[in-house]
Amino acid sequence: MVVLAVGAHPDDLELHCFGTLAKFVKNGHTVYTSTIANGNKGHYQIKPRELAETRLKETSDAAKLIGATYIGLDVADMMVDSHDRDQQKKAVELIRKVKPDLIITHGSGDYMSDHTETAGLIFYAAFASSLPSYPAELPFHDDVVPVYNMENASGIGFVPDEYVDISEEFELKLDAIRCHKSQMEWLSEHDGFNMLDSARIFAEFRGMQCSVKYAEAFALFKKWPRLRSQRLLP
């Protein structure tokens, strides 16, 4: 199986689904990670272009750590727009290039516009990429791909459908988060938020719900014709 995970920013996937992605790789599947935005606005000292390069390197390193391949779409922070024709085309090209069997991304109830607009872009692109006449460089993908929404920031309003036991992958997930040195500084200074503590709290909480040590939680995007009769998550 080919799995594509699309976050708004470098670090979103690491926080909310990297244990599952690592497990997919361990089970022999091919995993691509992507971000729509480049993370260029989240720092007090580092200027936007330099910051974007730093953050793309950090998330690329994190992907390598779990055996995944990173592809960034390089949209500026706070500019992700599901109605932007160029961004729609970039998202379609991403899906046509990767040809995933499963996509993991944000849900529509997340905490900031880049996240919810990423959910909207994937909703658009996963369908458009299957249309032979959609004007893109690559040929169409012969599937309207199933989509899972990952945990949102802080978990407010998020109701999981499925859990993935990441007990064996949890330390690797923490190592992937540690690749995000610039973001750990920013979130600590700007929001008083510790990424490693948050990852542990979420994994223990979701693990408690499904009776394992550490877990990640997902909600299936329930729209025809994306639903399948078999479980797709590991």
Query: Closest CB to Zn ion among 181 and 222?
Result: 181
Q: Please report how close the Cβ of residue 119 comes to Zn ion at its closest, in angstroms.
A: 12
Measure the CA–CA gap between 169 and 160, rounded to whole angstroms: 20
Name the one range near Zn ion by CB under 5 A: 10-18, 79-87, 180-188, 203-211.
10-18
Query: Closest CB to Zn ion among 58 and 165?
Result: 58
Query: Closest CB to Zn ion among 119 and 172?
Result: 119
85 backbone dihedrals φ, ψ, rounded to 5°: -65, -35
Name the one range near Zn ion by CB under 5 A: 1-9, 22-30, 90-98, 216-224.
1-9
Q: Please report how close the Cβ of residue 141 comes to Zn ion at its closest, in angstroms.
A: 26
Quick check: 106 binds Zn ion (CB under 5 A)?
no
Asked if the peptide bond before residue 225 counts as cis, ω within 30 degrees of 0, the response is yes
Quick check: 9 binds Zn ion (CB under 5 A)?
yes
Q: Tokens 């085309």 correspond to what residue?
A: 89
| Site size with Zn ion, rule: CB under 5 A | 3
Measure the CA–CA gap between 219 and 107, rounded to whole angstroms: 8
Query: Closest CB to Zn ion among 12 and 14?
Result: 12
Measured N-to-C along each axis, helices 18-26 and 48-66 cross at an angle, to the nearest 10 degrees, of 40
Measure the CA–CA gap between 212 and 169, rounded to whole angstroms: 13
Tokens (6 digits) for 198: 């948050």
Alpha-carbon torsion (24, 25, 29, 32), positive or negative: positive
Measure the CA–CA gap between 35 and 5, rounded to whole angstroms: 8
Q: Which of 3, 4, 5, 8 binds Zn ion (CB under 5 A)?
A: 8
The footprint of Zn ion on residues 12-71 (CB under 5 A) is: 12
DSSP 139: P
Nearest residue to the partner Zn ion, using Cβ? 9
Q: Please report how close the Cβ of residue 9 comes to Zn ion at its closest, in angstroms.
A: 4
Query: Closest CB to Zn ion among 7 and 207?
Result: 7
Query: Closest CB to Zn ion among 8 and 95?
Result: 8
Run of H or E including 110? none
Quick check: 77 binds Zn ion (CB under 5 A)?
no
Which positions touch Zn ion (CB under 5 A)? 8-9, 12
